Amino acid sequence: MVSKGRSAILFAFVTCVASRFTPPSGVGVTAASLNVTPNRYIVETSSYSRRSFYDPHRKRDVSFAVNREFNVPEIFVGGVLEINDVSALSGIDGVVSVKPVHRYPAPKPVSLKTLTGPNDPMTPDPLSTHVLTGVDKAHAQGLTGKGITIGILDTGVDYKHPTLGGGFGSGFKVAGGYDFVGDNYDGTNTPVPGSDPLDQQVPLGEMNSIILTHHIGANPGNEYNIDGVAYRIFGCHGSTEDPVIIEALLRGYKGGLDILTLSLGGANGFSEAAASVVASRIAKTGKVITIAAGNDGELGPWYTSAPATGKDVISMGSVDNTITPIQNVTIHVNSEEVAPIPYFSVAPLTNRTTSFEIYATSTNTSSTDDACEPLPKDTPDLFNKVVIIRRGTCTFVLKCEHAAQFGAKPFLIYNDDRPFAAISSGNFTAALIQADTGAFLVNNFAQGKNVTVSFKIRPAELPNSDTGGLMSSFSSLGPSYESDFKPAISAPGGNIVSTLPLNKFGLSSGTSMATPFVAGSVALVLQARGKTPIVALAMRDLLKSTASPIASNLTDAKPLQTLIQAGAGLIQVDRAVNTKTIIQPGHWTLNDTTHFQPTQKFTLTNLGTEPVTYSLAHVPAGTIYTYTGLEVVLPPFELTTDHATVEFSETRLTVNPGTSCTVIAKFTAPPIYTKGYPAYSGHIEIANSVETLRVSYLGVLGSVHKQQLLDHSNDPFNVSLPFVQLPGGTIQNTTTKYTFANGDYPNLVSRLLYGSPQLTVDLVTADSKEGSSPKVVGNIVPGDVAPRTPAGEYLNITIVETFSNGTTIPDGEYRLFLKALKIFGKPDDLKGSETYLSPVVVKMPAPPSNKTRRHLESPLRRHWEGLR
């Protein structure tokens, strides 16, 4: 249990979570978050002995509380400790690792539309995804996933839904389960577990808790003809934490589940988050674990999510369905109705039946940064208008945020040359319209004409000729900061029919839809090939080697989509079920230029009864420059045809039945400019007379160790980052006094251009100098991994009155010392990090209460009054 003092501790250590702040000169920005829970650490030990672990701490008079314990010796032994001074854990025998507790937001689909029934005009062909992936062929072979158990860690399950079996327990489809948190858990309070995983709340994700099912999901032959599964580690609102995920993973492992799937995650980019490590270890035992790669495609490359960063888990990207549901908006220009125009939404953008006037944030239809900066102060009240904004170089959320400051609510964002698809606009009500439509509206607005729009229900369903079978624009891009191959593969996740609570169905989009789709597909493969640890351990390579490459466009299909978004390609379940050729590994990571590994090999095994002759060929994918200057490239992504070259030890070989052969491939990186960190990728095709299989590869040009971490730009602040900001928004340039009370705290503002494996903030002596190791007085932010900061966002760390160990910062003069460790850097070597040393910060005595002040001598009274 958490002590009653918990709330005070949380307030004292807001340094660990970035918060919104008031920037200078009215600049509007969004703050990024470190997403860690203050003062809580996951401690892994070498053995399970309370005495051997806790007694040394008690003897050293260390104050701590045990929040949770884990004891699965072959996977993870340890506990969650509430402890102020994390440094006290060092030097204790048996401590394997100490990791902060990360929080993960509840899964939110990119779009979600509740359907009224199977005849709802918005219901796409539910079998289209089966055709895309060969599931229909696997079903035709009689495969249903019988005998396979799947656990989905999510928001719970409405097992009363008739399609999910209508009940809970023995004899039902949802044969068992557990609620780890309770309805009121939000990621910051104490979980209240229970045995019932029922979720009939407004859906946060798709299908949701810990569920044990003896089939792969929805009842065969249901009115939507869909197969799906559900699994609860989230409450009705908020987030969840590493310890809850770990406990659920371990319970699923001990319960003998064959597959665990998680439609959740948060930006991280490193493989060492505690939940990632546990998931990866479970996968190594012969359990298949599928995890969503994330819905942050708009934020560009190098933005992978944990726990999908686990080394041996299968991370999932999303492919758009071949059917696109849309709505039409009615337009009047000077009271004359013009032809209706489509907008990408499965439901009307608003329930309002009357018309809106429009307002364009820019009359320049070629502007690429429309609404990327705060709107002019003379912008009118936008409350009763539909705001028209051009798609461009910053996120949809940032554009909407700037217009929302003037009361704007619904938004129509007109496209550029990117595919017409669903967009992610956070909590804002927005939809995408086509480029020519946007230009038409803006040009009429610029001419002073009265342009109105109305959102009456005018649904339509079209074959998705723009993006069907292509990567969903929202699907997150890798690679990991360690240049690892993330995501692993892709599956249908755009416009998918799903069960929803309270006997409903819905149309949803997100990598959290692709993830359970793959879990169900894996059940078919396990049923066909046997659910042995050997088959499960080979599953990721099997899915990769049998996947289909994904094109970057539907015009000429060239070049292939970069593998930092597509992974090895779109899963093909029938091929994974039926192939007689096993290839291991299914992918190669060539690393960056500094750590380039040009020589790779794979083993080819013939499980058939006849000799098979194979021929090898290299098929490159498009190369993407991941950086433009110091900022990552944002969509639309331009792919070049520059590619690596490959030499094989043999280009044609015959393999006898029941035997294996090893092939060596030697790569030469593409001879292109390394600035901009180009990511190159592709496939080695291994073809025989009946099928073509593949080994995928990924490499990066340049040295990630040399990549600049700290942003030193001065836009939009007119002063270089990082900097310290006073509460009123002024930037500190000289020695400044703070009372460290009543909101009078210094704020450290910074941005990371690339992920850091260890970000720390210390309070150091005032005489510390740039370029030298400062004398640390106390720690403010303990070292932890930190992802890069998205465009338009900033890390804001508020320095309150206590160090990270809970002790009060003494009055005195200090500097703030920010240190970001580089990839492959050594923590104790300052040369392996980038640093910032602030101006002198003076902590003054806090003003006394009014009662005490009346008894002060006049000079001291004047001193306090002068500080106000």
DSSP string, 838-866: PPPEEEPPPPPPHHHHTTS-HHHHHHHHH
Asked if residue 342 belongs to a domain, the reply is: yes
Q: How far apart are CA 86 and CA 66, in angstroms?
A: 13
pLDDT at 237: 75
Closest among 711, 745, 746 to 732, alpha carbons compared: 746
Is residue 503, in this structure, part of any structural domain at all? yes
In angstroms, the CA 79 to CA 170 distance is 33
Share of the chain above pLDDT 70, in %: 80
Do residues 58 and 146 share a domain? Answer: no
How many Cα atoms are found within 13 Å in the side-chain-facing hemisphere of 629?
5
The C-alpha atoms of residue 374 and residue 382 are separated, in whole angstroms, by 14
Which tens digit of pLDDT belongs to each residue from 842-853? 999 866 655 444
Domain of 356, in residue numbers: 323-463
Distance from the Cα of residue 205 to its chain's centroid: 14
The residues near 214 (Cβ < 8 Å, ≥ 6 apart) are 146, 147, 148, 149, 173, 175
Domain with residue 77: its CATH number is: 3.30.70
CA distances to 77, 79, 249 from 49, rounded to whole Å, are 10, 11, 22
Q: Is residue 859 part of a domain?
A: no
pLDDT for 550-574, tens place per residue?
999 988 878 999 999 999 999 999 9
**What pLDDT shows up at residue 13?**
25
Q: Answer yes or no: is 333 within a domain.
A: yes
179 and 286 belong to one structural domain = yes
Question: Which of 533, 562, 578 is the last residue in one of the domains?
Answer: 578
Domain assignment of residue 130, yes or no? no
- 184 shares its domain with 301: yes
Closest to 138 in 3D by CA, of 514, 517, 470, 467: 517
Tens of pLDDT along 707-750? Answer: 999 999 987 888 999 999 999 889 999 999 999 988 899 999 99
- Shared domain for 537 and 429, answered yes or no, is no
pLDDT digit string (tens) for 114-168? Answer: 655 555 555 555 578 888 999 999 999 999 888 888 887 876 566 666 666 677 6
Assign 397 a pLDDT band (cuts: 50, 70, 90): very high
Question: Same domain for 329 and 442?
Answer: yes
Do 284 and 269 lie in a common domain? Answer: yes
The domain boundary residue, chosen from 439, 463, 487:
463
DSSP 106: P
Alpha carbon of 452 to those of 333, 399, 433: distances in Å? 7, 21, 15
Q: How many domains does the chain have?
A: 3
The pLDDT of residue 189 is 84
Mean pLDDT calculated for residue range 394-420? 92
Q: Extract the tokens encoding 810.
A: 């003494």
Asked whether the predicted pLDDT for residue 468 surpasses 60, the reply is yes
What pLDDT is attached to residue 674? 81
Question: Among 463, 480, 511, which residue terminates a domain?
Answer: 463
The pTM (predicted TM-score) of the whole model is: 0.79
Residue 607 confidence (pLDDT) above 90: yes
Report whether pLDDT(604) > 70. Answer: yes
Q: Are both 87 and 200 inside the same structural domain?
A: no
In the chain, the largest separation of any two C-alpha atoms, in whole Å, equals 102
CB 637 within 8 A of CB 471: no
Residues 183 and 202 in one domain: yes
| Chain centre distance of CA 751 | 18
Q: Which helix (H) or strand (E) holds 131?
A: helix 128-133
pLDDT digit string, tens, across residues 24-69 = 433 333 456 677 887 889 999 887 666 666 666 665 666 678 888 9
The verdict on 327 and 312 lying in the same domain is no
What pLDDT was estimated at residue 828? 86
Is 10's pLDDT higher than 70? no
pLDDT of residue 691 exceeding 70: yes
Residue pair 801/819 in contact by the 8 Å Cβ criterion: no
Identify the band that residue 406 occupies on the pLDDT scale cut at 50, 70 and 90. Answer: very high
Domain with 354 in it: what CATH number? 3.50.30.30
Q: How confident is the model at residue 505 (pLDDT cuts 50, 70, 90)?
A: low
Residue 861 belongs to some domain of the structure: no
Q: What is the CATH number of the domain that holds 164?
A: 3.40.50.200
Paired tokens of 40: 């809580």
pLDDT averaged over every residue in the chain: 83
Contacts of 120 (CB under 8 A, 6+ apart): none
Question: Could you tell me if residue 629 is inside a domain?
Answer: no
Q: Are 621 and 549 in contact (CB under 8 A)?
A: yes
Token pair 């009215």 in the structure block, residue: 26
pLDDT exceeds cutoff 80 at 112: no
Same domain, 331 and 310: no
Tokens of residue 588, six digits: 């190669």
CA distances for 337 relative to 180, 331, 341, 806, angstroms = 55, 6, 11, 66
- Bridging pattern class, strands 314-320 and 489-494: parallel
Write down the pLDDT at residue 496.
79
Mean pLDDT of 357-384: 95
Say whether both 260 and 303 belong to one domain.
yes
The answer to the question of residue 844 being in a domain is no
How many Å apart are CA 299 and CA 32, to the nearest integer?
Answer: 13
* Selection from 50-54, 79-83, 91-95, 244-248 with the highest mean pLDDT: 244-248
303 and 436 both lie in a single domain: no
